[in-house]
Amino acid sequence: MRFNKVLEKIKTYEAGKPIELVVREFGIKPEDVVKLASNENPIGTSSAVKEAIIANADKAHLYPDDSMFELKAALSEKFGVGDENIIIGAGSDQVLEFISRALLNEHESVLMSGVTFAMYEIYARQMGAKIYKTASYEHKYDEFMEAYRMYLPRIVYLCTPNNPTGDATSKEEVLRIIEAVDPLQTLVVVDGAYMEYAAAKDPRYKITPKDLLGYPHVIYLGTFSKAYGLGGMRVGYGIAQSTVIRELYKMRPPFNISTLSLAAAIAACGDDAFVEDSIRLHQQEIKRYEAFAKEKGIAYIDSYTNFITYLFDEGMDSTRIADALLKRGVIIRDLASYGMNAIRITVGTPKQNDTFFKVFNEVTV
Ligand SMILES: *Cc1c(COP(=O)(O)O)cnc(C)c1O
């Protein structure tokens, strides 16, 4: 069978390893596996969300409301934008896919930071577009502008806070980049998958969809998968001027969000207390990861997200450490495939973090 030539250059996205794999391969009991690999909310899902899912179970035979009226109304209210400014995706990943398909082809290119969310590149390659990355993993204005002028990309990705590094770009710096690009040539995608954590840490890093709605060439992406605890329900959103949203809608398959996922996301919008509690626990627990790293002489990136990235020197090998942790039932993310001798650890519950520290000590003696 012959497939599209562009597929030759695509590496399949490697998702965080599931608990089931560790159970199968290493014979560890599921309850003993500690999964700190995919930046899920360690507390779980709010009880309001669980109730909403159960209450909608008897609608499973009906197609969902394809207008997504209620979820859009909830998001409109939350962010102070119109429903014509919103598109909902099966995860913000699906919105990224719509954007790539709407703007890219083999004559176009995309620009992103040196180490960032892997899907930007994968979707761009699917369209045959060229990929340009800046030298730094941080979003540096000068590096972005130099590359921008050289390549005139169709899409500029600003992932703030950035995954898998955890650093963030200030609102001032993001606006500076947005204002320096040509609004007729380029769409700037501001991916705020972890924005709730950055906003709670330092107001200078807080960017809301409304802050960007005045720009015709910008889209803000958010997700329910991280702070809201709905990774398994697959709901994300894009917010932009209606001229952008209208085009992205042409890429959307019908009924792309299930009835239960819609119900879950609507309930999550009404439960800010759950997100606030999650962030409070996170802020307390991440301090332990910082203290642990300092104690062990390990460098780390100051995090604006729900994970922390440890940077190793030559004496430690990220792949070896990740494998050793995995064999003992602790799943974290090795960043070797991003060209970094580093690991990314989702900050878990106090108990999960205790296990991480204990097992990390065992495998690094
Ligand atoms: C998790 C994540 C997303 C999207 O997640 P979905 O589950 O598809 O909503 C988007 N961008 C970044 C940077 C992420 O880490």
- DSSP track, 141-176: HHHHHHHHHHH--SEEEEESS-TTT-----HHHHHH
Blockwise average pLDDT, block size 10, the chain, 365 residues: 91 83 90 94 95 96 96 98 98 98 98 97 97 97 98 98 98 98 98 98 98 98 97 98 98 97 97 96 98 97 98 96 96 96 98 98 92
Q: Which residue has the tokens 């954590």?
A: 197
Alpha carbon 323 to its chain's center? 24
- Cα(174)–Cα(80) distance, integer angstroms: 21
Residues 68-77 have pLDDT tens digits of 999 999 999 9
Residue that is written with structure tokens 């955890």 in the block: 166
Give distance in angstroms: CA of 98 to centre of ligand 1. 14
Residues 105 and 226 in one domain: yes
Whose Cα sits closest to atom 6 in ligand 1? Answer: 91
| CATH number of the domain to which 241 belongs | 3.40.640.10
Give the end of a domain, one of 271, 303, 334.
271
Ligand 1 atom 1 nearest Cα:
193
Residue 91 Cα to ligand 1 midpoint, Å, equals 7
Distance, in Å, from the CA atom of 308 to the CA atom of 352, rounded to the nearest integer, reads 14
CATH number where 294 lies: 3.90.1150.10
d(CA 106, CA 193): 28
Q: Indicate the pairing of strand 34-35 with strand 236-240.
A: unpaired
The single-letter DSSP state of residue 131 is E
**Smallest Cα–Cα separation from 287: which of 353, 217, 216?**
353
Q: How far is the centre of ligand 1, averaged over its atoms, from the C-alpha of 362 (Å)?
A: 32
For atom 11 of ligand 1, the residue with the nearest CA is 193
Q: Indicate whether this model's pTM tops 0.85.
A: yes
Same domain, 143 and 239: yes
d(CA 319, CA 343): 8
Single residue among 246, 271, 296 that ends a domain in this structure: 271
Residue for token pair 């999650």: 278
Q: What's the number of domains the chain is made of? A: 2
The answer to whether residues 17 and 110 belong to one domain is: no
Radius of gyration (C-alpha) of the chain in whole angstroms: 20
Query: Which atom of ligand 1 lies nearest, measured to the CA of 93?
Result: 8
Q: Which domain holds residue 143?
A: 47-271
Q: Which atom of ligand 1 is nearest to the CA of 225?
A: 7
Do 242 and 203 fall within a single domain? yes
